[in-house]
Amino acid sequence: MKFADANVFIYAILKPRRELSEKELEIKSRAKAILARINEGEEVLTTVVHLSEVVNVLEDCAGAKLAALSSGTSSHARTSSWRR
Protein backbone atom coordinates (compact mmCIF):
# COMPACT_ATOMS: atom_id res chain seq x y z
CA MET A 1 0.00 0.00 0.00
CA LYS A 2 1.19 3.54 -0.78
CA PHE A 3 1.65 6.32 1.76
CA ALA A 4 0.13 9.77 1.11
CA ASP A 5 2.28 12.51 2.61
CA ALA A 6 0.78 15.83 3.69
CA ASN A 7 2.48 17.57 0.76
CA VAL A 8 0.35 15.61 -1.71
CA PHE A 9 -2.81 17.17 -0.27
CA ILE A 10 -1.27 20.62 0.18
CA TYR A 11 0.11 20.86 -3.37
CA ALA A 12 -3.12 19.54 -4.86
CA ILE A 13 -5.50 21.79 -2.91
CA LEU A 14 -3.85 25.16 -2.37
CA LYS A 15 -3.92 27.91 -4.96
CA PRO A 16 -0.44 29.46 -5.20
CA ARG A 17 0.07 33.12 -4.35
CA ARG A 18 2.81 33.47 -6.95
CA GLU A 19 3.63 32.07 -10.35
CA LEU A 20 5.05 28.57 -10.01
CA SER A 21 8.19 27.29 -11.69
CA GLU A 22 7.94 24.46 -14.21
CA LYS A 23 9.13 22.00 -11.57
CA GLU A 24 6.53 23.23 -9.07
CA LEU A 25 3.79 23.01 -11.72
CA GLU A 26 4.78 19.40 -12.40
CA ILE A 27 4.67 18.60 -8.67
CA LYS A 28 1.23 20.24 -8.39
CA SER A 29 -0.01 18.33 -11.43
CA ARG A 30 1.21 15.01 -10.02
CA ALA A 31 -0.33 15.80 -6.62
CA LYS A 32 -3.70 16.52 -8.28
CA ALA A 33 -3.49 13.21 -10.16
CA ILE A 34 -2.74 11.33 -6.94
CA LEU A 35 -5.63 13.04 -5.15
CA ALA A 36 -7.94 12.17 -8.07
CA ARG A 37 -6.93 8.51 -7.81
CA ILE A 38 -7.60 8.58 -4.06
CA ASN A 39 -11.04 10.13 -4.73
CA GLU A 40 -11.73 7.34 -7.20
CA GLY A 41 -11.04 4.72 -4.53
CA GLU A 42 -7.30 4.02 -4.56
CA GLU A 43 -6.37 3.02 -1.03
CA VAL A 44 -3.51 4.84 0.65
CA LEU A 45 -2.18 5.20 4.15
CA THR A 46 -1.48 8.39 6.04
CA THR A 47 -1.23 9.37 9.69
CA VAL A 48 -3.14 11.67 11.97
CA VAL A 49 0.02 13.77 12.23
CA HIS A 50 0.07 14.28 8.45
CA LEU A 51 -3.66 15.09 8.33
CA SER A 52 -3.15 17.53 11.20
CA GLU A 53 -0.40 19.24 9.21
CA VAL A 54 -2.74 19.60 6.22
CA VAL A 55 -5.48 21.05 8.43
CA ASN A 56 -3.05 23.50 10.04
CA VAL A 57 -1.86 24.75 6.64
CA LEU A 58 -5.44 25.09 5.37
CA GLU A 59 -6.49 26.93 8.54
CA ASP A 60 -3.56 29.34 8.17
CA CYS A 61 -4.47 30.01 4.54
CA ALA A 62 -8.19 30.36 5.21
CA GLY A 63 -7.87 32.19 8.52
CA ALA A 64 -8.43 35.66 7.13
CA LYS A 65 -11.34 34.54 4.98
CA LEU A 66 -12.99 32.69 7.86
CA ALA A 67 -12.47 35.65 10.19
CA ALA A 68 -14.20 37.92 7.69
CA LEU A 69 -17.14 35.54 7.43
CA SER A 70 -17.61 35.37 11.17
CA SER A 71 -17.06 39.06 11.93
CA GLY A 72 -19.43 40.37 14.52
CA THR A 73 -19.74 37.01 16.28
CA SER A 74 -17.54 36.33 19.25
CA SER A 75 -15.84 32.97 19.56
CA HIS A 76 -17.69 32.48 22.86
CA ALA A 77 -21.04 32.89 21.14
CA ARG A 78 -20.08 30.39 18.43
CA THR A 79 -18.89 27.88 21.01
CA SER A 80 -21.96 28.34 23.20
CA SER A 81 -24.39 27.81 20.33
CA TRP A 82 -22.46 24.74 19.19
CA ARG A 83 -22.77 23.12 22.62
CA ARG A 84 -26.55 23.51 22.72
Residues 4-29 pLDDT 10s: 999 999 999 998 889 999 999 999 99
Q: Is the pLDDT of residue 80 over 70?
A: no
Provide mean pLDDT across the span 68-78. 55
Q: In whole angstroms, how large is the CA radius of gyration of the chain?
A: 17
- Owning domain of residue 7: 2-83
Rounded to two decimals, the pTM is 0.70
Domain count, the chain: 1
The 10s digit of each residue's pLDDT in 27-39 is 999 999 999 999 9
